[in-house]
Amino acid sequence: MGPLRPLGWAAFAFLVYGPLAAALFDACTGASVDLLSARRADLLGASLLFSASVAVLAMALGTAAALWLARHGEPLIRAGTGPLLATLAIPPTVYALAWSHAFAWLGVGGLSSGPWLIAGAAETLSYLPAATGFALAALQAADGELLQAGRLYRSATSVLARIVLPLARPALAGAAALIFLLSLLDYTIPSIFGVNVYALEIFVGFSASYRSADAVLLAAPLIVLAGAAATIAVSSLRQVGQRTVGNELPRLLRELPNLGQGILALAAASLMLAIAAPAVGLMPGLTDPDYLLQTLHGAGPEIGYSFATSAAAALLALLLALIPALELANRRALWLWLLVLVPVSVPPALSGVGLIVFWASIDRLPVYGTPWMTVAAEVARYAPVAAGLLAVAFRRIDSGLVDAALVSGNGWRAIWRRALLPLARPGMLLVAGASFALALGELGAAVLVMPPGHNTLTVKTYNYLHYGGTPAAAGLCLAQFALALLGMFLAAMPAWRWRKAIPS
């Protein structure tokens, strides 16, 4: 890697770990918050139960829906995994709007009020497409020879329960831990339905006292729990998809009894409902074109600001992720993966607090109080995610081509310019698109660090949803969804063309 290695790690540590270190150092001044109050303890317990229920239900439904898709053949398994996982990039505000409309129409909950059960159902269905994508990837661990051998002696149901699901269990557990982590750290959907979760308590506590020590102390239990979930998720998901399913799994699933087929079909119907919900929820924004145009015109500054900051964050996150991703691709050590991905388990509100403390203390870099604070928040949150995704892309490169460049006596500059970067370009473009979509939906940290007079589209949409501005929120969600799709499309098209130009 030449001199890029220390420079890359230094830049990654400065922009990702610097704010967290600043928050911890500033917290040494002492906190004035009562962490052990009965209300906060009850809230933490309720949040844990809520997120665990969401993760278990989403993965159970997702696994059943994935089995229904898998019974239709291996091409559907491979074609459906990526798009379903990409739904994680859809901003949570879009799902919040969609399910608030659906539940209001059914008469089981309004836009700004609802019990834990309503919020849990909305969040479970929001994560269901991604859970199905994870389950499809996990099913690729089913060895066709084992299925053939088992089918000689046992029924299809027994083979499914005793061979297929145990083989997929580690990856399914890792996916459930990841969904638990995402649910535990996010308060968007629960707060829209009037449910207070512990992740929101950090934001409220800091807003009340403006003391970083209070935010760190409040976030400590959440960091421990989220760190444990992240460890489980990383250790399991690193092993996803190392085998192929062949033709045995679809044949086995088609031999299940009628009851099993019916259960899988019901799960698949839930998946179709979860996929259609965002589109249906955005329809009210299209019913009155004049009002939609008026809403989009009024949100013009927020749309432009969101696009510019998200694009800058995606580019910067991609550059920061290059060196850590190469290390992750070449070394399978769990500690290294955790070192890179542990910032993902930090509550967004605490990330925002750390960014304020960190950049306010650096006078020579004019970042604090400028739009670059929003970019810094999005980079700190999603550069580790970009590194993990890019490591997967680097692993798909034919190492023999890079070895040939090394043997030919080329220097590190020539190897990067003429071998490594061209081969990794499709994956890099897709990671950039995913980073753009994730940055576009950032709320928890961005709401704390945005300079006065600069709102992101996500924050404005969330405010409309929180205070009942349904028609305007539908128009803003439509714009947000369109921007996310545009960013991913612009990244996917060159990647697809470039991949077709490289022999398989």
Instruction: Provide the pLDDT for residue 503.
Output: 43
Residues 6+ apart with CB under 8 A from 22: 354, 357, 358, 361
CB 160 within 8 A of CB 253: yes
The listed range with the strongest mean pLDDT (197-211, 242-256, 398-412) is 197-211
Higher pLDDT, 495 or 298: 298
Least reliable range by pLDDT among 30-34, 236-240, 285-289: 30-34
Tokens describing residue 138? 């996990």
Least reliable range by pLDDT among 40-44, 373-377, 483-487: 483-487
Mean pLDDT, to the nearest integer, of 85-91?
Answer: 77
Confidence of residue 110 (pLDDT cuts 50, 70, 90): very low
Least reliable range by pLDDT among 149-153, 194-198, 341-345: 149-153
Mean of the per-residue pLDDT values of the chain:
80
Angle, to 10 degrees, between the axis of helix 212-237 and the axis of helix 334-341?
Answer: 140
Mean pLDDT, to the nearest integer, of 180-195?
Answer: 87
Mean pLDDT, to the nearest integer, of 324-338?
Answer: 83
Cα end-to-end distance, the chain, whole Å: 26
Residues 6+ apart with CB under 8 A from 149: none
Angle at CA of residue 117, ends 126 and 201, nearest 5°: 80
Q: Is the dihedral of CA 313, 429, 434, 138 positive or negative?
A: negative
Q: Is the pLDDT of residue 275 over 90?
A: no
Model pTM score: 0.83
Q: Is the pLDDT of residue 438 over 90?
A: no
Give percent of the chain above pLDDT 90.
14
CB 32 within 8 A of CB 214: yes
CB 163 within 8 A of CB 231: no
Higher pLDDT, 252 or 417: 252
Mean pLDDT, to the nearest integer, of 428-457?
Answer: 86
